[in-house]
Amino acid sequence: MPENGCTDEDVQRVLAALTAARGGAFLITHQNADLDAAGACIALQELLKQLGIPSRIGSGSHASVAARKLIDYLDAEFEVRPPNPGGLPVLVDVQNPDQVAPLIPWKRPVVLDHHPYAGPCDYQASLTDDTSPSTCELVHRLFEAAGAVPSSRAAAGMIAGMVADTMSFRRAQAGTFRAMARLLATTDVNYQEVLDAIHLEPDRSSRIAILKGAQRAELTLIGPWIVAVTKVNSFEADVANALIRSGADIAFVGAKKKGGFRITARARKSFIKSTGIHVYKDLLVNIEVIIQGSGGGHDAAASVNGLVKMDEGIKALLKVLRERLGDEGHGR
Ligand SMILES: [Mn+2]
């Protein structure tokens, strides 16, 4: 059985299609390319070079800030909306031609991706495996299948992508650790240096909002639960997340917006699990009439936009929460 959703035949087919691209290849990744997208492209470009296939890398839009740090660190060339892409189109970390606009593939593409199946497409060959935590692991499988040894530069690209897409290995699988171990053992890549190269300092304005939000936060204790409420001018989601990281079980953050305001809610996983509360369906939805607003979200993260009475809305939220939790704070 294959280690993940791609068979060895899939790997061989993709390798054969790439090797046959004597006229070169163009590695196209998704808009706002992330570290996995950029790392996979850079590593794949190196593999192709070892196979004697010239290639270029590009996308329909600029890469993300983090990806640009990796691109600079590895001194790679990333073309934004190139006027004359050519060669064999290879979709990397994306599979649906619609998602690479305005760079529509000019002929049947080869595809490497780990997102859920995007519907039928006219591929020449594909490694689409949504059980793989990253596209970089798929590129690593190609290196292995080709019997090629990655350079430390290619290793750095793949490591950056794996670290990013597994959320620092929280979503890693056996294949991730196997690829990591092989790359670290067989190349001179400096793991610490790669991490430093892709590290992003949090935005200064966001940090100010977080500190102000924390400074103004009002705490309410309901049974065992710590409830934090605060108001900021912007970055309300960052502030709510920070309050949860700092210890709150549930946080409500109000922020003025053009023509109204937004109330953002976040809850700790253990709070959701223990109380069964869905922060939108059980809490926020109840104040939509009061604030003349509407919203949506998941069980642990949601928000509502309102037009009137933000303070009353927040007060009502606490009342609903209190009722829902009962005197002992036990939830259902
Ligand atoms: Mn990815």
For residue 158, report the distance from its CA to the centre of ligand 1, in Å: 11
Identical fold for domains 8-198 and 205-325, yes or no, is: no
E strand segments, the chain: 25-29, 55-59, 79-80, 88-92, 110-113, 125-128, 218-222, 225-232, 250-257, 260-267, 294-297, 301-306
Residue 172, number of CB atoms within 10 A of its CB: 19
Strand partners, 265: 252, 302
Distance CA 120, CA 117 (A): 8
128 CB burial (10 A radius; 0-12, 13-18, 19+): buried
* CA 43 / ligand 1 centre spacing (Å): 14
Q: Residue 6 C-alpha to ligand 1 middle, in angstroms?
A: 16
Task: Give the Cα separation of 138 and 125 in Å (integer).
Answer: 14
75: left (phi over 0), alpha (psi -120 to 50) or beta: left
pLDDT of residue 5: 72
Structure tokens at 260: 């109204």
29 CA from centroid of ligand 1 (Å)? 10
Distance from residue 164's CA to the centre of ligand 1 (Å): 8
Q: How far is the CA of 115 from the centre of ligand 1 (A)?
A: 7
* Burial of residue 202 (number of CB atoms within 10 Å: 0-12, 13-18, 19+): exposed
Place of tokens 């991730």: 176
Report the C-alpha gap between 247 and 115 in whole angstroms.
33
Task: Report how far ligand 1's centroid is from the alpha carbon of 137 (Å).
Answer: 10
pLDDT band at 99 (very low <50, low <70, confident <90, very high): confident
- The answer for 67, left when phi > 0, alpha when psi is -120 to 50, beta otherwise, is alpha
pLDDT of residue 194: 98
Closest CA to 48 of 103, 8, 100, 87: 87
Task: Give phi and psi for 6, each to the nearest 5.
Answer: -110, 135
CA of 262 to the centre of ligand 1 (A): 31
- The Å distance, Cα 38 to ligand 1 centre, comes to 9
pLDDT exceeding 90 applies to what percent of the chain? Answer: 86
End-to-end CA distance of the chain: 44
| 48 in Cβ contact with 17 (< 8 Å) | no
Q: What kind of fold does domain 8-198 have according to CATH?
A: inorganic pyrophosphatase (n-terminal core) (3.90.1640)
Q: What is the pLDDT of residues 140-197, one digit of tens each?
A: 999 999 999 999 999 999 999 999 999 999 999 999 999 999 999 999 999 999 999 9
Tell me the CA–centroid distance for residue 185 and ligand 1, in Å: 24
**CA-CA-CA-CA torsion for 63, 66, 68, 72, nearest 10 degrees?**
-160
Query: How much is the pTM?
Result: 0.80
**What are the residue boundaries of the structural domains of the chain, listed by start?**
8-198, 205-325
Q: What's residue 2's pLDDT?
A: 40
Residues 25-81: tens digit of each pLDDT: 999 999 999 999 999 999 999 999 999 999 999 999 999 999 999 999 999 999 999
What is the 318 CA–ligand 1 centroid distance (Å)? 39
Q: Please tell me the predicted confidence (pLDDT) of residue 102.
A: 85
Task: For residue 107, report the phi and psi dihedrals to the nearest 5 degrees.
Answer: -150, 180
Q: Output the pLDDT for position 331.
A: 62
Per-residue pLDDT, averaged over 231-242, amounts to 96
Q: 297: which residues sit within 8 A by CB, 6+ positions away?
A: 265, 279, 280, 284, 303
Cα 126 to ligand 1 centroid, rounded to whole Å? 15
Q: Is 155 helix (H, G, I), strand (E, B) or coil?
A: helix
- What is the third-level CATH fold of 205-325? Diaminopimelate Epimerase; Chain A, domain 1 (3.10.310)
Mind listing the pLDDT tens digit for each residue in 13-26?
A: 999 999 999 999 99
Distance in Å, CA 12 to ligand 1 centroid: 21
- Give me the chain's average pLDDT, please: 94
Span from the CA of 221 to the centroid of ligand 1 (angstroms): 40
Backbone phi, psi, residue 49, to 5°: -60, -45
Which residues in 5-15 are b (16+ Cβ under 10 Å) and which e? Answer: ebeeebbebbb
Residue 85 CA, ligand 1 centroid: distance in Å? 23
CB neighbour class for 259 (10 Å; exposed up to 12, middle 13-18, buried from 19): exposed
Residue range 264-292: mean pLDDT, rounded:
96
